[in-house]
Amino acid sequence: MKRNIAIVAILAACAGVASTYFLAANDVAPESKFVLLDGSTKTSQDLKGRVTLVNFWATSCVTCVAEMPRLIATFEKYKGQGYQTFGVAMQYDPPSYVVNFVDTRKVPYAIAIDNTGALARDWGQVQLTPTSYLVNKRGQIVKRYVGEPNFAELHKLIETLLKEA
């Protein structure tokens, strides 16, 4: 009995600590500055008014590379309806690799390089890739995906969010 209580206490403590590091659904997207490959910048304020997928990825991540065609297809499907994607290359990803990857695969959406790690820290200590956040038009995080999302579910959620005022 004492062992079970100790285990529950440890799990509760871990959950409390984890909650300080991970953004939950309906949290407001953190104040962030995205420096895009073309040198322009976007901020969290640019997320408002559009449904946005913020996708943390790396060129060395097999799952990231595998999901990229579906992320591109999702962007192409909804971009004219008020949807956007921000890809965020992780700090450890060499910028030349990112540029080459984006060019050779003709990635059509905005890509930022998180060269200081600030974006990963701001968005909940992102360490695993891919990690994606779906943000509604009000700038609130609606869903967090670690790993490749279920794209049928993601599309339904995007469609629901696009209908909201």
Q: How far is residue 29 from each of residues 45, 98, 139, 164, measured CA to CA in Å?
A: 9, 24, 6, 18
Domains of the chain: 24-163 (3.40.30.10)
What tens digit of pLDDT does each residue of 133-143 get? 999 999 999 99
What tens digit of pLDDT does each residue of 51-109 get? 999 999 999 999 999 999 999 999 999 999 999 999 999 999 999 999 999 999 999 99
Q: Bridge-partner residues for 88, per DSSP?
A: 56, 112
Dihedrals phi, psi of 56, to nearest 5 degrees: -85, 130
Say how far apart CA 57 and CA 113 lie, in whole Å: 10
Q: How long, in residues, is the chain?
A: 165
